[in-house]
Amino acid sequence: EVQLLESGGGLVQPGGSLRLSCAASGFTFSTYAMSWVRQAPGKGLEWVSATSSSAGSTYYADSVKGRFTISRDNSKNTLYLQMNSLRAEDTAVYYCARRLWLEGGPFDIWGQGTMVTVSS
């Protein structure tokens, strides 16, 4: 079964850091581009960051640029999101999502999400 499982969410103070992980299984992880998408409580979806299949290219939303870093370890079938200098507005459910093709496309597989709460 194709599956994505996020972990690492929790409560963190403003200015703090958190590292999210997304473990992939059931498919050849190294052949798919991946992304992080978040959803603030009661709000819509917001794309956060993306990486190509080889991690040779990375992209960020302006709202997180310079604070978040996406990475992947294809040997461990795992996607990461390092989040620094966290703000209250970063509070959201964070989903990892597989993109349909090698270098892009829509999000065809989603994890169940991990909640990040930034609050003092």
Partner 1 sequence: ERVMTQSPATLSVSPGERATLSCRASQSVSSNLAWYQQKPGQAPRLLIYGASTRATGIPARFSGSGSATEFTLTISSLQSEDFAVYYCQQDNNWPLTFGGGTKVEI
By the rule CB under 8 A, 100 interacts with partner 1: yes
List Cβ<8 Å contacts ≥24 apart for 67-74.
Answer: 70/36, 72/29, 72/34, 74/29, 74/30
By the rule CB under 8 A, 22 interacts with partner 1: no
By the rule CB under 8 A, 105 interacts with partner 1: yes
For partner 1, how many residues bind (rule: CB under 8 A)? 23
Q: Which of 8, 9, 30, 47 binds partner 1 (CB under 8 A)?
A: 47
By the rule CB under 8 A, 58 interacts with partner 1: no
22 and 109 in contact (C-beta within 8 Å)?
A: no
Q: Which residue ranges make up the site for partner 1 (CB under 8 A)?
A: 35, 37, 44-47, 50, 59-62, 95, 99-100, 104-108, 110-113
